[in-house]
Amino acid sequence: MSHDPNCIFCKIVAGEIPSRKVYEDEELYAFHDIRPQAPVHFMIIPKQHVASLDEATAEHAPLLGRILTLAPQLAREQGATNGFRTVINTGPDGGQEVYHLHVHVMGGPRPWKVG
Task: State the pTM of this model.
Answer: 0.93
What are the helix (H) ranges across 53-97?
A: 61-77
With contact defined as beta carbons under 8 Å apart, do 60 and 50 qualify? Answer: yes
Domain count, the chain: 1
Q: pLDDT digits over 5-50, tens only?
A: 899 999 999 999 999 999 999 999 999 999 999 999 999 999 999 9
In a domain, 3, yes or no: no
Given a contact cutoff of 8 angstroms between Cβ atoms, the answer to whether 8 and 98 are in contact is yes
Say if 114 falls within a structural domain: no
Query: Does residue 114 register a pLDDT over 80?
Result: no
Report whether pLDDT(115) > 90.
no
Q: How confident is the model at residue 2 (pLDDT cuts 50, 70, 90)?
A: confident
pLDDT for residue 80 is more than 80: yes
The domain in which residue 28 lies consists of 8-107
Catalytic residue positions?
A: 102
CATH of the domain at 70: 3.30.428.10
Structural domain contains residue 20: yes
